[in-house]
Structure 1
């Protein structure tokens, strides 16, 4: 079995770019770092670094090894956290997956209230829009519902919210003061994307535009909510965005939030509890979310 301390030192050398830099970062002498790297090479039977001028250059084997240790180091870090929890008397851990707009609007308050009620609970909040390699599934996953998606066996799904999309228009847009607009009203505008094209929220918008008889031309590929809103504020174009992501200062005259008349894109938000019978913390988190959402 590989020595995990040597793996940590090796990864530091790879990340730092040299023995000396790794020694500075880890608080060791360059000699100690070199000894650990030599021992790791003997342990693995691999040549990890080659002389290049006055320094060292990582080999292809080194680059492959460091890539394959990413999951290992993540799991070791998680194990360190578990040991810390046990040593300090914390009784449990709750991992919650969330997407960006839910994170901004709900997660801070949820974390504060849940921690106040369960001070011995260790919370881990993880953005679920990025593929998660390794590790156990989320104890509680806050997600946008996708038709036909399969939940983990034995889990429970709880509807949380219906989130209609809204149009964000520059303050001087001809329809900025409208009580509502249709998607067709905006067909000729310059559109700004606010999510990745293959993301579920983009697909919901695309389906509604198809139902309205057109396909929007995105002149700006912002692909995140905050950047898209900034483009609208600058008067570049319009964006159609889930309502949960469209909260703006009420004093902002440069962006108007206008409701959309049917066919209106709507996303449905749910919570999936992995172990509903044995996860008191996850069930309480759902109760708090429902209270928070109202």
Structure 2
């Protein structure tokens, strides 16, 4: 088994670019850092660095180990934090997975409320769209696949139906309408706001197929913040979840979509650990309350 401390020292050398800089950053001697590097090389059986001038540079294997060890070290850091919480008598730690639009729309206020109610609680928020799925949050806010949600060892709790809307420049010919048929967007230049192949992207493309066309994406923005700015610049239109289109600049308008309306279903997956988790249950209550009263989500009215 690899020594986490040696991995940490190794990553510090790769990150800082030299043994001496890593030693200064870690509060160690350069000799101690070199000893850790040598021990890690023996443990792994890899050549991790090579000489370059008067210094060293990571080999391809070294760069690969540094990149692939990032998540493992993050997980180790979380475990270390759990031990610290237990030692110092803090009431616990809650890990919450989320995707970007739910994170910006829901999580800041909910985490603030949770911190006031449970002041000894540490909340770790993880953007699961860009994190390996071997992470197991206590609560994971997810988009259900079309055939239904669920995950072994988790309780599946539906939260909300989130319809997609059309986001268009305010000067667009359709901007004065309150709604637009999906087929009416057939000839538009489209800006993507999600990764190709993701749940959201598949929902939109499937709805367009049902309306008899395939959207022409000319800009792969792949996230809604950038997509909105492309729309504002007049590059094209974008079809995104209403939750992602809550706050728009003045030169952008959103429209309801009909015939058909693409919709994504949002749920919470609550990890069943076999022991009570009051913090997870309280956050779940808050999420359910929030979505029973949509006006509290802070959404602006559809223009």
Fold in common (TM above 0.5): yes
- Greater Cα shift, 65-74 or 15-24: 65-74
Q: Retained in 1: the 8 A contact 2:149–2:156?
A: no
- In structure 2, the CA distance between the partners of 1:5 and 1:159, relative to structure 1 (3 Å rule), is closer
Unaligned 5+ runs, structure 2: 294-303
Q: Retained in 1: the 8 A contact 2:164–2:241?
A: yes
Q: Does 1:267 align with 2:264?
A: yes
- 1:290 corresponds to: 288
Deviation for aligned residue 1:102? 0.3
Report SS of the residue matched to 1:175. Answer: coil
Give the Cα–Cα distance (whole angstroms) in 2 for the partners of residues 184 and 68 of structure 1.
Answer: 45
Report SS of the residue matched to 1:80. Answer: helix
Give the Cα–Cα distance (whole angstroms) in 2 for the partners of residues 111 and 104 of structure 1.
Answer: 11
Give the Cα–Cα distance (whole angstroms) in 2 for the partners of residues 209 and 245 of structure 1.
Answer: 19
- In structure 2, the CA distance between the partners of 1:31 and 1:108, relative to structure 1 (3 Å rule), is same
Q: Retained in 1: the 8 A contact 2:19–2:33?
A: yes
CA shift digits 1:146-205 (9 cap, x unpaired): 134563334321111111111111111111010211111111111111111101011111
Q: Retained in 2: the 8 A contact 1:169–1:238?
A: yes
* Deviation >6 Å, runs of 4+: none
- 2:81 corresponds to: 81
Report SS of the residue matched to 2:202. Answer: helix
Q: Retained in 2: the 8 A contact 1:71–1:133?
A: no
Unaligned 5+ runs, structure 1: none
- 1:124 corresponds to: 124
CA shift digits 1:188-231 (9 cap, x unpaired): 11111111110101111111111111111011111110111001
- 1:14 corresponds to: 14
Report SS of the residue matched to 2:145. Answer: coil
CA shift digits 1:16-74 (9 cap, x unpaired): 22212222322334333233334444565654333332222334553454355434422
- In structure 2, the CA distance between the partners of 1:245 and 1:43, relative to structure 1 (3 Å rule), is closer
Report SS of the residue matched to 2:129. Answer: coil
Give the Cα–Cα distance (whole angstroms) in 1 for the partners of residues 239 and 68 of structure 2.
Answer: 41
Deviation for aligned residue 1:239? 0.6
- In structure 2, the CA distance between the partners of 1:17 and 1:154, relative to structure 1 (3 Å rule), is closer
Give the Cα–Cα distance (whole angstroms) in 1 for the partners of residues 65 and 131 of structure 2.
Answer: 21
Give the Cα–Cα distance (whole angstroms) in 1 for the partners of residues 223 and 2 of structure 2.
Answer: 41
Report SS of the residue matched to 2:50. Answer: strand
Equivalences for 1:131-146 in 2 at 5 Å? Answer: 131-132=131-132, 134-135=134-135, 137-146=136-145
- TM-score, length of structure 2 as denominator length: 0.87
Q: Does 1:227 align with 2:226?
A: yes
Give the Cα–Cα distance (whole angstroms) in 1 for the partners of residues 17 and 157 of structure 2.
Answer: 48
Q: Does 1:90 align with 2:87?
A: no
Deviation for aligned residue 1:276? 8.2
Give the Cα–Cα distance (whole angstroms) in 1 for the partners of residues 44 and 197 of structure 2.
Answer: 41
Give the Cα–Cα distance (whole angstroms) in 1 for the partners of residues 176 and 67 of structure 2.
Answer: 53
- 2:170 corresponds to: 171
Aligned-CA RMSD value = 2.3
Q: Retained in 1: the 8 A contact 2:168–2:231?
A: yes
